[in-house]
Structure 1
Amino acid sequence: MDRTYRTFVIIGGGLAGAKAAETLRTEGFDGRVILIGDEHDHPYERPPLSKGYLTGSTDREKLYVHRPAWYAGNRVELHLGQPAVHIDRAAREVRLGDGTRVPYDALLLATGAEPRRLGIPGTELAGVHHLRRVAHADHLRGHLTGGHRDGAPLVIAGAGWIGLEVAAAARSLGVPVTVVEPEPAPLYRVLGPELGAVFTELHREHGVEFRFGTRLTAIGGDRGMVAEVHTADGGRLPARAVLAAVGAAPRTALAAAAGLEIAEGGGIAVDAALRTSDPRIFAAGDVAAPALPAGGGNGSPGKRRRVDHWANALHSGPAAARAMLGRDEPFDRVPYFFSDQYDVGLEYSGWAPPGDYDKVVYRGDAGKRCFLAFWLAADGRVLAGLNANIWEVAGTVQALIRSGRPVDPARLGDPHTDLASLVPGA
């Protein structure tokens, strides 16, 4: 990009936006950097919201991507608590909620995602929660620590990553938990039935109750507070709080209103350098939907996939910033996610939902939760891998995925075979 561009604007006060601002400065850009966020908090990281911050073991200050003084020290102009409401592409301006107009030479959209709603009667009751922002975590923690002397549980709608992490956090606080999930196992659309069974047993050992194969149809109240939930199979469960953990939708309204291309499956369509259909506008983090590159674990090249995980925000923000500076680099990282649940820490790399893989190969004992699992295609290619309580192997797992080459399943599952030796060219 032409170095005469002097004003770079970032919409989005999360990890992707903050790391993009940092990268612009570390790469030597000395023009104006303006960061717009609709929350009053300085940019913060979201993973602790369902873990340590929710239980009170992680202080609020530790959430921040940078200390608040960093922004003034690096001449990053902040507009916090101010939503961007319109992009004028012809004038190259962003209009804020208070009417302020912010000019740009290049613009980065890091608007993130928002929780999906349950869309059932009773969601207006006190005690119905979503979890995406620090204020959400504050409210939920208040309910979890407010006492459950009658034994009425927290009911969690959805057994995905957020649902399970909150279940683990709530149990650590002594709160009864019931999880209602339409699929036959937790994390079913990510890990399939094999690993779903492992996480079912883990949570049941810690007192979590599951109701699989059904969903919430209504939330009943008493004096404006949650009192029970109704399920599609006719069940009625007592509850004192309900968490809607049914996924997140990319915040694309601003981009769509500006006429930018929106991907068919959701998210802002971007090229390999995270550039949108407008060459002056880029997108990163949860809202971006890049075309998939060729290689293992990526599905069909040409399709788009939006990745709603911490590592994607961490790396795509800087990649977009470098592209804004004219240093285009293909952003083709293997999807990555980490989670902590009770005494199990895990990392998951790649992508292999049910129907996309042929079998799962284990290295170690899944029952003891110290193992690796690999999802293989019919031709032996590694599509995804998970390491549980085994560390410093995620890079090797990702190398196996990226190679797109078949691997001998027997050697893959043999703990005496050096995993790195299976990477082609090692």
Structure 2
Amino acid sequence: MSRRHYKYLIVGGGVAGSAAVEAIRRRDPAGSVLFVGQEANRPYVRPPLTKGYLDGSIDRAAMSALPVNWYSEREVELRTGQRVSRLDTARFGAALSNGEEVSYDTMLLATGASPAMLRIPGADLPGLHCLRSIDDADRLLHALDTVRSDHTPRIAIIGAGLIGTELAATFSRMRFSVDLIDGNEYPWARIAGPSVGMFIESLLENRGVHVHSANGAARLDGDGRVQRIILMNGDVVPCDLAIAAVGMTIGRELLRGTSIAAETAILVDERC
């Protein structure tokens, strides 16, 4: 079976892929480009997901990485709702999830990462959310609306990194009850020192967030759904829903059988 050939193959429909396509078109206005994104949505910027998109100050249109007609006007073939299921880097080939096979001259892997799984008892209960995509945010907003029709939502966030603290700040601004849970001594422990971490903790507490530092989640509990989180010291945090923000992990399935090396991330050299 013949394979359609592209000069450039961009794998991953996020802002990095969009920036790459934009740069390619500045340097090469005519080279064929296939841009493949697994999400059904057109490429968009993710930072507002933890802030303006949740509180309603930013809509989907404002989050678009590039204008809607940008791709067609520049003859970039954008495939949303598809993924690259297999790579053959030795033969410069790729298989798509719809069964199509393509070849390329140059490929960029910009697949990003996925939320790390919370690995404690009860993590399989309904009512535990993560946040990486617009669809994740919409599911979270729907759950909040369901609770809000009855009472002020009580939200428990597990993980006090960037995403967890941003969510805590957003939900406190929305006048929700927020508990932020983390086993480290202070927020941002993986990316900042104690002075910055304690400043973030103080800032959140002054906004009404209940910060549980050095006291991680031991298990999730509830009658058919998450209703409480049991902390390492035995304290109980009641909640209407919980959000896991415990880091990210790269997907390795696409790299199997290729020469692409990966540890905690895909390894690159001076060319990337």
Query: TM range, normalised to the smaller chain?
Result: over 0.9
* Runs (5+) with no aligned partner, structure 1: 275-426
Q: Retained in 2: the 8 A contact 1:86–1:258? A: no
Quote how far apart the aligned CAs of 1:152 are: 6.0
Q: Given residue 267 of structure 1, which amino acid in structure 2 is its aligned partner?
A: A
Partner SS state of residue 104, structure 1: strand
Quote how far apart the aligned CAs of 1:120 are: 1.8
Quote how far apart the aligned CAs of 1:29 are: 4.3
1 CA distance for matches of 2:152 and 2:79?
44
Quote how far apart the aligned CAs of 1:151 are: 5.5
Structure 2 partner of 1:282: none
Quote how far apart the aligned CAs of 1:230 are: 1.3
Q: Retained in 2: the 8 A contact 1:55–1:141? A: no
Structure 2 partner of 1:260: 260
**Larger relative CO (CA 8 A, sep 6+): 1 or 2?**
2
Residues 118-197 of structure 1 mapped to structure 2, 5 A cutoff:
118-148=118-148, 153-197=154-198
1 CA distance for matches of 2:71 and 2:99?
23
Q: Retained in 2: the 8 A contact 1:51–1:166? A: yes
Q: What does the per-residue CA deviation read over 1:310-342, in whole Å, with 9 as the maximum and x for residues that have no partner?
A: xxxxxxxxxxxxxxxxxxxxxxxxxxxxxxxxx
Structure 1 partner of 2:217: 216
Q: Which has the larger radius of gyration?
A: 1
Partner SS state of residue 26, structure 1: helix
Q: Given residue 267 of structure 2, which amino acid in structure 1 is its aligned partner?
A: A
| TM-score after normalising by structure 2 | 0.93
Quote how far apart the aligned CAs of 1:157 are: 0.5
Partner SS state of residue 68, structure 1: coil
Q: Retained in 1: the 8 A contact 2:183–2:217? A: no
Q: Retained in 1: the 8 A contact 2:160–2:180? A: yes
Q: What does the per-residue CA deviation read over 1:403-423, in whole Å, with 9 as the maximum and x for residues that have no partner?
A: xxxxxxxxxxxxxxxxxxxxx
Structure 1 partner of 2:83: 83
Quote how far apart the aligned CAs of 1:232 are: 1.7
Instruction: Name the CA shift for 1:211/1:80 in 2 (closer, same or farther; >3 Å).
Output: same
2 CA distance for matches of 1:257 and 1:141?
40
Quote how far apart the aligned CAs of 1:49 are: 0.4
2 CA distance for matches of 1:237 and 1:150?
17
1 CA distance for matches of 2:13 and 2:191?
28
Q: What does the per-residue CA deviation read over 1:227-286, in whole Å, with 9 as the maximum and x for residues that have no partner?
A: 1111221122111111101111123331244231114xx111111221xxxxxxxxxxxx
Q: Given residue 21 of structure 2, which amino acid in structure 1 is its aligned partner?
A: A
Q: Retained in 1: the 8 A contact 2:11–2:17? A: yes
Q: Retained in 2: the 8 A contact 1:40–1:80? A: yes
Residues 320-335 of structure 1 mapped to structure 2, 5 A cutoff:
none
| TM-score after normalising by structure 1 | 0.60
Q: Retained in 2: the 8 A contact 1:87–1:93? A: yes
Partner SS state of residue 222, structure 2: strand
Q: Given residue 169 of structure 2, which amino acid in structure 1 is its aligned partner?
A: A
Q: Retained in 2: the 8 A contact 1:250–1:267? A: yes
Q: Kindly report the root-mean-square deviation, in angstroms, between the aligned alpha carbons of the 2 structures.
A: 1.7
Q: Given residue 164 of structure 1, which amino acid in structure 2 is its aligned partner?
A: T
Q: Given residue 46 of structure 1, which amino acid in structure 2 is its aligned partner?
A: R
1 CA distance for matches of 2:61 and 2:153?
32
Structure 2 partner of 1:363: none
* Runs (5+) with no aligned partner, structure 2: none
Partner SS state of residue 33, structure 2: strand
Q: Structure 1 segments of 4 or more deviating over 4 A? A: 148-152
Q: Retained in 2: the 8 A contact 1:144–1:170? A: no
Q: Retained in 1: the 8 A contact 2:219–2:231? A: yes
**2:106 matches 1:109:** no
Instruction: Name the CA shift for 1:90/1:191 in 2 (closer, same or farther; >3 Å).
Output: closer
Q: Retained in 2: the 8 A contact 1:156–1:163? A: yes
Q: Given residue 60 of structure 2, which amino acid in structure 1 is its aligned partner?
A: R
Residues 8-19 of structure 1 mapped to structure 2, 5 A cutoff:
8-19=8-19
Q: Retained in 2: the 8 A contact 1:255–1:268? A: no
Quote how far apart the aligned CAs of 1:126 are: 2.5
Q: Retained in 1: the 8 A contact 2:184–2:216? A: no
Quote how far apart the aligned CAs of 1:218 are: 1.6
Q: Retained in 2: the 8 A contact 1:131–1:137? A: yes
Q: Given residue 273 of structure 1, which amino acid in structure 2 is its aligned partner?
A: R
Quote how far apart the aligned CAs of 1:147 are: 3.5
- Identify the range of structure 1 (151-160 vs 31-40) with the bigger mean alpha-carbon deviation: 151-160
Q: Retained in 1: the 8 A contact 2:90–2:258? A: no
How many matched pairs?
267
**2:201 matches 1:200:** yes
2 CA distance for matches of 1:201 and 1:146?
31
Q: Retained in 1: the 8 A contact 2:147–2:153? A: no
